[in-house]
Each structure stands twice: as C-alpha cells, then as structure tokens.
Structure 1
C-alpha cells in the first residue's frame, strides 16, 4: 500500500476542498479515475486514495458521513462513494443545469476542436442523449456553424468521428481561402498606396478614385471666352471693355491697331460715330476712357420729312453729302 500511495502522488492527482463550482466536483472524480485506471487500483484502494485528497469542508463532510455510507463491516466501494459524493457536491439540480447546457450547446465563435471538447465534456452529464452513435453524431452536427453544417448534411454521414473529421477539413479549407483572399486584398491595397498600377483581367487600371473607384482623364480647358468666342487668357474680355483684340489698348479696334499695321500702309481712322439708341460702339475716344452712355432722343416728324429721310437711305436724295446717322441726336 505505501508504494501505491507513492506512485499515486507522483501522478499529482487533483485535490477537492468542497468550495466552488459544482462542475469542479465532477472534474475531480474524472481526474481520480484516470489515475486509478493507470495504477489498476482495487475498489477499496480507490476510496482510500480519494479520501486522502479531500481537504477543508470536504474532509469534514467525509468524517461525519463515512459511518453512514460504509457502516462497520461493510467494505468501501468506489461506486457507492461517488454516489454519496455527487449527492453532496453535484446535486440533481446541478446535473440538470449541465444537461440543459449540453442541449443548447452551439459552436458559435469556437473552432471545431474547441467545440468538440466542450461537446464531449457536457455529454457525460446526459449519457442517455448520446448512447446511440447516430444520435450522438447528429447532435454534434446540429451544433456546428451553418457554413460547416450545410456541407455535412449533403454528405449524409452517420458516424460521430466522420462528422468531426469532415468538419475539421471544411473549416481548414475555409480558413485557407479566407487567408488567401486577405493576402490578395492587402497586396492590392499596398500597390495603391505606392502608386503602382494593378491589372485585372486584361486591362490595366489606375488607383481607385473616391467616386468611381478608378481615375478618369481630366479634360483640358479649351480657354474660349463665352462672350466673344476667342482666346485671351485671364485678361478681361475686350468685347466687354471696348479694348483692341490685338494689343488690348483702348481707343481703337483690331482692324486699325498700330501694332498690327507696322510696316504696312496706314489706313485712315474711321470717322467718329455718335451714340445711337443708347449703344456705345467699341471705338471709344482717344485717351482710353469711354464715353458714358446717354439716352437717345426720339423726334416726331412729318410725313414729308420721313419721305426725305427714306430718300437719303435709298440714295435718291443727298443732304449735302452728310452721313445719314447725323440726323439722329442724343
């Protein structure tokens, strides 16, 4: 017996104090049974070694209960000890809680291996639900994630181990695909940050823009003025200021621009025009300042005067060779 105790302690079996989660009691029994199986202990030896590992309130419970469980003359048995122990520290209520937890078990964020370990741990509290191998496999399958469960349904498996192995394979394949996709995305993003061009299919495209996702060519401005239809850069429009289109100076038009007619016969300047109907012509007086606009005068004339004016316009009558616009005054 002393050698058995020495071998038992070398395995570092768990101790139990009687305080904490009821699940600790079940785990304590499981840890002891592993050591007993390795040492091939007899029923009486199992009880003696288990009692040696009780501490605190649990040790007090055993001292007060030992005579009731094993009266004088009755040899200790392991199953009788476990039944009494569970009645104290792992009640029927605690067992029911574990059964409900097993029935509601879902993989969630756990991996397949983590889910299988939790499934095996909780299933021991509800052996009647997993005694049938087919029921055990189906319960395991139904708790998996939808993306793992759907392919398994199509395979029509029946064995628990087959469900577990196929679920591992599907999960590994999905993780590899996700890692490969993330790697391509990170590579594409790095190329965009470095200003490199990436190729999709047979077309090269530039880095994505904010709206369409790819840069579009920006059309160059034609620089045509919407008032005069000509190009004069950022300078004010001559059609609006009355300046020369050739040199930009006031007082003349491009046709009579001195800059343009250098080295050519000088053309006589046009006669000064009077303001007609409130319109200011482009050839403003010399000095660069325009004449202010003035309201034209409307005359009431007789029929004879109108006929005389018509003759002047048609060229049949001449008024001392004076221009026709001299008839109008502002």
Structure 2
C-alpha cells in the first residue's frame, strides 16, 4: 500500500480499465507481491460499480473458487465486462479517422497513444523517420516554428490551428468536386476516385478482412456514447428514455389521483 496502487471505479472504458490493470501489475512487480495474493490485493482496490461487479462475481462462482482464482483467470471476466469488444472496435475506428483539428501536438499525441494500444494489427507507412518519437519531436519543432512565424507576423494564427468548421467545409468542397468530376463512389473506401483503390488489399481493423474500410465494415457495431453499451445510439439509450418518462410523469399525476380516490389516504 506504500506504493499507492491505483483505485478503479468501474468505468466501462478500455483505456481507463487496461491502464489500471497495467498500473496494478507494476505495483505487484515492484513490491515482489506473492502471485497467490494478486487477486486479493488487486480486488481490494476496486470501488463503486467495480466492487459491486466483483461482489456479484464472487456470489456467482462461489467463495472458494474466488479465493483460489489466479490473476490471469480474474482478468478474463474483468476485461470482458469493463473493456467490451464493441467499445474497442469504436476506439479502433476513431484511431483510423484521427486527425489534428486545432489541438496542440502534445494533446493529439496523448489521444494517439491512448488509442494505439488497441491497434496492434495496424501498420505504419514507411517514412524517413525510424521511430514514432522522431515523428512526434519533428512535429513539435514545426509547431514551435509556426507559432514564431505568427508572432513575427509572417503567418496567420488560423493557418497554424485551423478550426474544425473550416476543415469540414474543405472536406465538403472536396466531395462536391468528386461529384462534379463524375468519378463513381468506390465500393472499398466510399470516396470518388479513378483507378485502383489503395485500400483494396489492406485489412479492416474491425473484422480483419479486405475489400472495405472500417467506416464501411458490415461488422461495425453501434455503441451508445452515454452508457457505452452496443446495439443502440445515445438518442435511443434506455437511461435517457427513462429520464424523459420521469419528467413526463408529473403531468399525468393529477389524472391518476382522480381515477383512484379510494386508494389514497
């Protein structure tokens, strides 16, 4: 406990969940914790919904099975519940579509690294840089130089960090240009272009098959941004629908009282 192992509150978020696993395992290693005590000490750091999940799991498998459970055996149901595949697929799709939209290099790098751990099967295009660190440091240097140019009046600020709205308009203009050029929409990437599609032989990060991109993947699952559960959108989330029903109920309350006078009092 002197090493301050992290607390986990049960967020259904693969990034937070797997970071907690990594941090706790680091504490086990530094303290030379006995392997047989991993589950006991690890689950002792669960709070809120995470502890509720573990308490329910112990009832489900029995106290003795929970006592002899290994750390690897614990991680299987733990990750299945708190790091569901549907949410990981959404992270992979966000990683592929990740673009800098006014964020600083450090900010976009943090987002990139968080999502990168779930995209091991993806590959980087060869370039003159040998490591990711070289690319990031070069981008930082360019960012600093661009800011200096703004301070000297050699460049406008919006050229350095263009707004998302401006980029969106540019993308929309590109789509209109494709439509005017008469190029049909590609069945692989969905964009209008001539010649063979360069994504044709690249595997989809969601289903690992070729012939389509992640945005057009037939195995793509809708994930709610409210509860992070698959199968519905935020506008259809049961949590929000329940709240709307509660808000509407006061208007119906007078009618209920009028219909059931003998049951009141």
TM-score (norm 1): 0.40
Q: Which has the larger radius of gyration?
A: 1
- Tell which has more relative contact order, 1 or 2 (C-alpha 8 A, sep 6+): 2
TM-score normalized with structure 2 length = 0.49
Is the helix fraction higher in 1 or 2?
2
